[in-house]
A and B are shown apart, each in its own frame.
Chain A
């Protein structure tokens, strides 16, 4: 019993630690400035840009991550362990290093050709999406794989013996069964993309009204010693992130995602 009390105590201590940090922001904030800064064109631009780029990066991560997760979860192929290991690279590599790696890549002949003949990434909007995508794609694949792993492959086996094609078996059986986990994984990745800073600033730079996502806005406000703006932007970012995390909890409980 005493051990259990100890564990609850540890949980409460962590809660107090993070809540205390947020509280210090609230206490330092000039309340009358909140709406002024929130509704300022630069802030609204940052919020819009962050939401748009994070959504695009998440869609891209889903488009590539879901089939990859399916392959890693269901199919035994040569080099699977290597692929699985490399997917964890963004999780162990610092975001700035990841951004710098992308920057270096665009200096190579292949990277230069992509930029000259295709899309220009460095210091541009697509660069933000790419940096966020690079940060979350591995995580997305890993989380999507965990959701798929929870669904027995026997369901698909039976569905196929009943005449369903591989795609039908996935779409009608595995996907609805894994839906809650998949949606939770995507919301988490989206929240991580919204908060992404290091790779974005390295690849896309920190230009107001151009590549200024929320975290870059915080960085610019702090760099210009505007403490009130910094605090309010942090609170807005925390608000968006916490709403997303709360949405994950709701998804877990919602009857439609049973």
Chain B
């Protein structure tokens, strides 16, 4: 277990105060946040490359915050990779496994499985300057993993790559992690990358952990409006809580001029009665009902009439904007192409929408 407890850091006007992180061993943890949220500073602090003003960093219960970087057993891959340009790929890989009394063969025995897994054997005698972007990434990963670090820190290492190559490397990192089960803390502001790689996602905004959880928890059930906005979630509607049932299992909220009752598990724990809330509806969870077709029992509670205001062909799906009748809000719906083809949806046409109770997610509307 890697723990950061009460981390305090001050750089210029930027402050991190009392930050806590717990990273279970063997997990691939993603620190996700917008530019300037302090992700890199946290990584550098854990690596020992930045002096912290307070707090503790523990690996398996042992404090390491006073140790210099070389004695922490933490490998660090910066954004620019920093492959040593005057050393060959082989020498770069050897750098972290050299040691007094360790033979070349012993070094090679440690490196070879990585060389094979990363498919970099043909590059061993080349210098980093002659490698492609993807090759450099693989060498940097190999170099960082060669000493079998207790924690691998990755600071947006894929950000400079084009989308195709980035996706290949994401797959490679994923499969490498499945095989070697190293503990990693990967920093990114790329939502897709976070979703693809993470076992757990830690959302960091303005130096504060806003949410921590599985990727499903973060993306489907954002804890706060700040997280939802950072994730770029559409369909956030400002409403209010009317009542929380005494048994603590049901929540009554206003929604588009009506009252709907939802199971309490459909709301963030921070939601309180008589407070504004934001209701989030995932675009792919909203259904358009076909005329004349009977409606399932589970959908009958939440049926709304609306007008199609815009249709956008996104290639792999159709994006449809609708406006509920007599309401100012706009709702975005994602429909798979095959569903869209079977529905006669056209701009300006009236349709009926249905949502399951499970499709609503209630977030506190005022920030703590």
Contacts and interface: CB of A to CB of B under 8 A. Distances in A.
Interface in B21-78: 44, 47-49, 68-70, 72, 74-78
Interface string A155-173: 1011111111110000011
A26 to B, nearest CB: 43
Interface stretch (B82-90, B214-222, B252-260): B82-90
Contact of A160 (B69, B143, B144): B69
Interface of B: 44, 47-49, 68-70, 72, 74-78, 80, 82, 84-86, 95-96, 98-99, 143-144, 147, 153
Nearest to B68: A160
A166 B49 CA distance: 12
B264 to A, nearest CB: 46
Contact of A152 (B80, B143, B144): B80
Nearest to A159: B95
A161 B74 contact: yes
A162 B143 contact: yes
A165 B70 contact: yes
Nearest to B146: A162
Nearest to A169: B70
Contact of B84 (A161, A166, A173): A173
A157 B84 contact: no
Given A162-B143, A162-B147, A258-B86, A157 B69 contact: yes
B76 A157 contact: yes
B78 A158 contact: yes
A163 B70 contact: yes
Contacts of B76: 157-158, 161
Contacts of B48: 160-161
25 contacts: A154-B80, A157-B82, A158-B76, A158-B77, A160-B49, A160-B69, A160-B70, A161-B47, A161-B49, A161-B69, A161-B74, A161-B153, A162-B75, A162-B144, A162-B147, A163-B70, A163-B98, A163-B99, A164-B70, A164-B95, A165-B68, A173-B84, A176-B86, A177-B84, A258-B86
Nearest to B77: A158
B75 to A, nearest CB: 5
A176 B85 CA distance: 10
A159 B144 CA distance: 10
A162 B49 CA distance: 12
Contacts of B72: 161
Contacts of A163: 70, 96, 98-99, 147
Given A157-B78, A159-B95, 12 more contacts: A152-B82, A154-B80, A155-B84, A157-B44, A157-B76, A160-B48, A160-B70, A163-B98, A164-B95, A165-B68, A176-B86, A177-B84
